Amino acid sequence: MEETNGINSKTYMDLEILRFTTVGSVDDGKSTLIGRLLFDSKSIFDDQYDAIKKSSEHNGDSTVNLALLTDGLRAEREQGITIDVAYRYFATPKRKFIIADTPGHIQYTRNMVTGASGARLAIILIDARKGVVEQTSRHSFIASLLKIPHMVVCINKMDLVDWDRDTYERIKKQFKSFASKLEISDLRFVPISALKGDNVVKRSKNMDWFDGPTLMYLLETIHIGSDLNHVDCRFPVQSVIRPQSAKYPDYRSYAGKVAGGVFKAGDEVMVLPSGFTSKISSIDGYDGEIKEAFAPMAVSIRLEDEIDISRGDMIVRVNNVPEISQDIELMICWLSEKPMNHNGKYGIKHTTKDARCIIRDIRYKVNVNNLHRIEDDKSVGLNDIARVSIRTTQPFFFDKYSRNRTTGSVILIDEGTNETVGAGMVI
C-alpha cells in the first residue's frame, strides 16, 4: 500500500464533514462497498487488513473479504449479516466522511432509521442480478421520508452481469419509475462492482459506456453547504448557565445548539412559550464573544432583559415564529415490537422539550412497496409507517420536517419500558 493519505498537520484542518448512510437488501454488498471505499482511499491500516486476510483464509474465501471490516459483533460475523448500525470514518484531502452502515434485514429496519436520521446522503445499493426488490423500495421510501437530501443509487455486482449496459439502464428506469412517487431532490446513478472496485474510487475499465462520475467523486463533491436551514431562527434552550461565582455574580446565559437561522448580538428575539421579547446582548463562547451563531453551533445566548426562561423553551425571531400547538400531525415510523396503542399515551421528546402525548387518530398506514394508503387496517406494528395525529400535554414549537429536520422531529417513548418506540416527522 502507498505511504500516505495526503493529510498533514498544516493542511486539512478545515474539512467539511459529509455524513452518509448505506442501505440495501441483505447480500447487496453494503459491507463490501464500505470495505472497498476504506481500502481504496487508504483508510485501512495494515494490521487491520492482515487480520481480515487471516479471517478470510480461515473461512475459506478465495479473496480478502472486505465486509469483515465492518461487521463488529460476534453474532454478525457468525451469521454474515449486519444487525446494528456500525459507524466508520475516513477522510480524503477533500472531505471527512462518517458512514452509518445500516442493516438490510427487515427486522432491523429500526436500526436503519437510526443510521439514516443523521445522514445527508444515502447510498442505495441494488444487486444488478435482482433489480429493485421490496427492501429497495422500503429503504428508498424511508430515506426520502427522512429527507436525506442526496441519494446515490449504486447498481452493484455489475461483474456478475458481464458489465451489461442494458441491465443497468433497465434497473435505472425501474428505480426512477418508483422514485417518481417519492420526494428526492437529488438523485444519481452509478454502475459499480464493490468486489472488484469498478467505479467506486477508480474508474471502471470494464464499463467504458458509462461516462458519469465515480461514487467517490460524488461523495467528495456533492454540494452539501445549503442542506441546513439558515433562514428560520430557532434556538431550543438546553440549560441555563448561572455560575453564581465571585467573578460572575449575576451572569445568566442560555445554552443550546442553534437549530436554524443566524443569531447575532442586537437581534430582537421572542421567547416561547411566554411570548416575551428582548434583545440578544451577546453570544458567548469559551474564548469570548461570537459574532454570528448558526446551525449546528453550540453556544450560549445572553439577553438584555431578565425573563423567566428554562430548558425546553425556544428563542426565535419576532417576525418568524414556528407553529405553536398541542395538536401535531406526524408521519411516524414504528420501532417497537409492541404495536402502537390507539388512544395510548406515550412520552414525547422534541428538541430539548419533554412532555407526554396521546395518539388521537391513526389516519392511514403506508404500503411501502407501492406507496398506497392503507385505510382499512390501522394496526401499527414494528417497522410500519403511518400518518397519525397526536395531542401533547403542553404546546410544542415546531416546523415542518421538510423545512427543518431538528425542529420537525420527535421521538415517542414507551413509559413502561423507557424504550424509544416511534420516530415522528412533522407534516
Partner 1 sequence: MFSSYNLSHLGELEAEAIYVIREVAAQFENPVLMFSGGKDSITICHLARKAFHPAKIPFSFLHVDTGHNFPETIGFRDQLVKEVGVHLIIASVQDTIDSGKVSEEKGPNASRNALQTTTLLEAIEENKFDAAIGGARRDEEKARAKERFFSHRDEFGQWDPKNQRAELWSIFNGRKNVGEHFRVFPLSNWTELDVWQYMLQEKLDMPSIYFSHKRKVFVRNGVFLADSEFITVKDNETLEEKTVRFRTIGDMTCTGAIESTACSIEEVIEEVASARSAERGGRMDDQRTEASMEDRKKEGYF
Residue 33 Cβ, how far from partner 1 at the closest point, in Å?
16
Nearest residue to 340 (alpha-carbon basis) of 378, 291, 302, 292: 378
Report residue 10 as a C-alpha cell. Answer: 498544516
Task: Determine contact, residues 260/406, Cβ cutoff 8 Å.
Answer: yes
CA distance 319 to 346: 33
Is the Cβ of residue 98 or residue 358 nearer to partner 1 in the bound state? Answer: 98
170-177 contacts at long range (C-beta below 8 A, 24 or more positions apart) = 170/131, 171/126, 171/128, 171/131, 171/132, 174/131, 174/132, 175/126, 175/132, 175/136, 175/140
* Three-class DSSP category at 248: coil
Residue count, binding to partner 1 (CB under 8 A): 88
Confirm or reject binding of residue 281 to partner 1 (CB under 8 A): no
**Of 62, 63, 180, 245, the one binding partner 1 by CB under 8 A:** 245
Confirm or reject binding of residue 1 to partner 1 (CB under 8 A): yes
Confirm or reject binding of residue 250 to partner 1 (CB under 8 A): no
* Piece in contact with partner 1 (CB under 8 A), picked from 22-30, 153-161, 343-351, 356-364: 343-351
- Strand order across the 95-101 sheet: 86-91, 95-101, 16-24, 121-127, 150-156, 186-191
CA distance 294 to 226: 12
Is the Cβ of residue 205 or residue 291 nearer to partner 1 in the bound state? Answer: 291
Binding mask 17-56 for partner 1 (x = CB under 8 A): x---------------------------xxxx------x-
DSSP string of 18-60, one letter each residue: EEEEEEE-TTS-HHHHHHHHHHHTT-S-HHHHHHHHHHHHHHT
Confirm or reject binding of residue 106 to partner 1 (CB under 8 A): no
Residue 365 Cβ, how far from partner 1 at the closest point, in Å?
19
Confirm or reject binding of residue 246 to partner 1 (CB under 8 A): no
CA distance 276 to 306: 10
Confirm or reject binding of residue 347 to partner 1 (CB under 8 A): yes
Binding mask 113-132 for partner 1 (x = CB under 8 A): xx--xx--------------
- For residue 57, the one-letter residue type is E
Is the Cβ of residue 95 or residue 165 nearer to partner 1 in the bound state? Answer: 95
Tell me whether strands 262-264 and 292-294 are parallel, antiparallel or unpaired. antiparallel
Task: Determine contact, residues 315/254, Cβ cutoff 8 Å.
Answer: yes
Sign of the alpha-carbon dihedral angle for 230, 233, 236, 237: positive
Report the site for partner 1 in 197-236 (rule: CB under 8 A): 223, 225-226, 228, 230
Report residue 312 as a C-alpha cell. Answer: 425546553
Nearest residue to 411 (alpha-carbon basis) of 332, 358, 329, 336: 332
Is the Cβ of residue 15 or residue 26 nearer to partner 1 in the bound state? Answer: 15
Confirm or reject binding of residue 243 to partner 1 (CB under 8 A): yes
**Of 297, 321, 355, 371, the one binding partner 1 by CB under 8 A:** 297
Is the Cβ of residue 136 or residue 404 nearer to partner 1 in the bound state? Answer: 404
- Please give the distance of CA 202 from its chain centroid, rounded to a whole number: 27
Nearest residue to 100 (alpha-carbon basis) of 51, 142, 159: 142
Confirm or reject binding of residue 426 to partner 1 (CB under 8 A): no
* Piece in contact with partner 1 (CB under 8 A), picked from 152-160, 165-173, 383-391, 409-417: 409-417
Residue 127 Cβ, how far from partner 1 at the closest point, in Å?
25
Confirm or reject binding of residue 317 to partner 1 (CB under 8 A): no
Confirm or reject binding of residue 247 to partner 1 (CB under 8 A): yes
**Of 159, 198, 267, 284, the one binding partner 1 by CB under 8 A:** 284
CA angle, 265 then 270 then 273, to 5°: 140
Residue 234 Cβ, how far from partner 1 at the closest point, in Å?
13
**Of 30, 150, 350, 365, the one binding partner 1 by CB under 8 A:** 350
**Of 27, 40, 53, 91, the one binding partner 1 by CB under 8 A:** 91
Confirm or reject binding of residue 302 to partner 1 (CB under 8 A): no
Confirm or reject binding of residue 147 to partner 1 (CB under 8 A): no
**Of 56, 61, 96, 165, the one binding partner 1 by CB under 8 A:** 96
